[in-house]
Structure 1
């Protein structure tokens, strides 16, 4: 199930369906839903409060990525209940990028026929990045280890989401804990550096450009987080952002792979007009990211 490589390949109705997956899974976790945190491509929907036409549309997603607390993974009743609920709802194990069926990735076909994906992530410091964190169970659920993902346990916001349960169970409202601007951008920075997917660059830049309060508010959030226990990881992410979005020659920062990735994802076409639009977008991204990163390095405002 290859992901679209451009903005036009995503569908707002599919993103809304992902909300249904999220609230349905949470509804079956009982008290353990307090140990589940949303990350990934559904998060910009909540980090950015404004909607088009006030802001450009975000791509959305066809995946639901949730980080689970290791304490949940160690509770037999919790993960057995989760597995039973997934199977009852019609979920089945999904394939990874190599076409191998894995236990941390599950899929379901919605009423519209679109396939929605649910991914379980964890952060075990004793494992290397990208390795599968097997749950202590004889069942069929595991989680993919994502270094630094645990920062979302401390750096998150909450939102009420109302959506229809899968399977015709009616409408429900769930309180969802999701990555805040800082943890989301950091995790996306690590992801972009590792796999270089164009959408990762789009996701993080979109949130930094359009989150409430603008650059000053974003800088304030980052500066506050840099005083906390995740300062080292955030510092590493900022170094990556600088490497991918800034250049020793500021006037050439638009040529870095970060701005190029954003423009390639958002603007398709090979004609001269599209090429000019991509260059303009690259320059705007480079300027915005450069302003934020320089302000954080200097300790000043935007």
Structure 2
């Protein structure tokens, strides 16, 4: 169900479409609280870099939905019972990762036809020691997993109206989704790759950097955000992570680092002609180097 695949070939458009439907169902389940939800993670590139072949290829997709919650708002008096009830009334059940194991309080399951989709609730922390620890929203029924600097998506996000058909004859509905913008997405993905070294994180990061716009405009947007003084700790840490995982050092060429290798391996290019593979890794590293140089 909640599988992080290691290669692009294992993802499908149909599964990603199901994730979009689950997202809309979640927004409807949250009712008046839905405007406080922020979409992050692997579904975001679908909206940041919509497919426009051949210039912008379709993003690989995702198998789950990552949502940042604003705990301050959700813990307002009277919210607890309403949230728990509305999730269950909306067709969501607590996810059970293993058949004989406990159910999760921060992961919920929604079935889109025969496709089960896991929703993961996330919450901001600026304390590295608290990253990956749960914070309770609703006793033991609803909680969120803390990740570093998730609140960047509260402030820097985009909106888009989407139309989907809900399962079980739920009808066609419109919803406005709020998702991390390019700066927030790149910051969170750079930090995610630094902490867990998953190929998919590196690929998502490079896809958005490559296809959101040109590198100069992206670097310019970062410089504008840095000038505001908001979320500068998060941006600084993310840029450091990009340098460490993708960029040249005096004795280590960037293309040989784990970032470019993860991107190439995710797309199944590790076994092709070595010259072609190295060229592809150089291209990834070169783009990130160029991006960093235009910011600093």
TM-score using structure 2 length: 0.91
* CA distance in structure 1 between the aligned counterparts of 2:284 and 2:251, rounded to whole angstroms: 12
Following superposition, the deviation at residue 269 of structure 1 comes to 6.2
Residue 62 of structure 2 is aligned to residue 61 of structure 1: yes
Partner of 1:105: 107
Farther off after superposition, 161-170 or 201-210: 161-170
* CA distance in structure 2 between the aligned counterparts of 1:62 and 1:79, rounded to whole angstroms: 28
Following superposition, the deviation at residue 65 of structure 1 comes to 0.6
Distance 1:128 1:85, change over 3 A: same
Following superposition, the deviation at residue 79 of structure 1 comes to 4.2
Structure 2 unaligned blocks of 5 or more: none
Deviations 1:17-42 (A, max 9, x none): 11111111112322211111110000
Contact preservation (8 Å) 2:38, 2:153: yes
Partner of 1:2: 3
Distance 1:75 1:166, change over 3 A: farther
Following superposition, the deviation at residue 125 of structure 1 comes to 4.3
Distance 1:85 1:265, change over 3 A: same
Following superposition, the deviation at residue 91 of structure 1 comes to 2.4
* CA distance in structure 1 between the aligned counterparts of 2:249 and 2:140, rounded to whole angstroms: 52
Structure 1 unaligned blocks of 5 or more: 298-302
* CA distance in structure 2 between the aligned counterparts of 1:84 and 1:110, rounded to whole angstroms: 20
Alignment map for 1:65-84 (pairs within 5 Å): 65-84=66-85
Following superposition, the deviation at residue 100 of structure 1 comes to 5.1
* CA distance in structure 2 between the aligned counterparts of 1:114 and 1:44, rounded to whole angstroms: 21
Partner of 2:220: 220
* CA distance in structure 2 between the aligned counterparts of 1:100 and 1:285, rounded to whole angstroms: 41
Q: Give secondary structure in 1 for the equivalent of 2:104.
A: strand
Q: Give secondary structure in 2 for the equivalent of 1:41.
A: coil
Partner of 1:236: 237
Following superposition, the deviation at residue 114 of structure 1 comes to 2.2
Distance 1:291 1:12, change over 3 A: same
* CA distance in structure 2 between the aligned counterparts of 1:73 and 1:143, rounded to whole angstroms: 11
* CA distance in structure 2 between the aligned counterparts of 1:202 and 1:276, rounded to whole angstroms: 20
Distance 1:217 1:116, change over 3 A: same
Distance 1:276 1:142, change over 3 A: same
* CA distance in structure 2 between the aligned counterparts of 1:268 and 1:209, rounded to whole angstroms: 18
* CA distance in structure 1 between the aligned counterparts of 2:9 and 2:282, rounded to whole angstroms: 22
Distance 1:183 1:162, change over 3 A: same
Contact preservation (8 Å) 1:89, 1:167: no
Task: Note the aligned Cα RMSD (angstroms).
Answer: 2.2
Alignment map for 1:1-302 (pairs within 5 Å): 1-95=2-96, 101-111=103-113, 113-125=114-126, 128-135=130-137, 137-138=138-139, 140-212=141-213, 214-228=214-228, 229-249=230-250, 252-268=253-269, 270=271, 272-273=272-273, 275-297=274-296
Q: Give secondary structure in 2 for the equivalent of 1:49.
A: coil
Distance 1:264 1:47, change over 3 A: same
Deviations 1:41-80 (A, max 9, x none): 0000111134333223311101111111122330354343
Partner of 1:300: none
